[in-house]
Amino acid sequence: MNPNPPSTYHYVIRIYYEDTDAGGVAYHANYLRYAERARTEALREAGIPHAKLVTDHNLMFVVHRAEIDYMRPARLDDTLVIETRVTDVGGATVALRQTMRGSDGIRVVVRIKLACVQIGGQKPARIPPRWRGVLDSMRRDDDEDT
């Protein structure tokens, strides 16, 4: 476990041909995939990977709510930096803000609320203490676009 996880995790992704529509613009649904990758890597870097939540606690995070604001399109060969920040931690939920930036500024902002659930039954479950402690340490209350 990372004893001092950053409050903002940065993940870099390049837009490939397979990510785009006929006009060379990143297809809108792909931003959810990019956000998922960045969240997964942020948790791994913080020392609380999804796989350990599954194996140690028979729990997983599922997307409860997703809100996406598209500011500018990403295009073929663009590089995006995805900034992932924890904005709130509840007993069984965690909220994140993921800002995707290109060289010309913000392209997309994704706000995600994850719910911790039991595998199989999908019943809500409290976030285990280790995960909650790390998520709390990563929390940032601001919701700025900077």
- Structure tokens that stand for 146 in this block: 């900077």
In this structure, the strands spanning 8-14 and 79-89 are antiparallel
Contact 86, 140 (CB under 8 A): yes
Edge-to-edge, what's the strand order for the sheet holding 93-102?
A: 8-14, 79-89, 93-102, 105-118, 59-70
Residues known to be catalytic:
21
Q: In this structure, how many other beta carbons lie within 10 angstroms of the beta carbon of residue 112?
A: 22
Contact 65, 95 (CB under 8 A): no
- Structure tokens that stand for 17 in this block: 């041909």
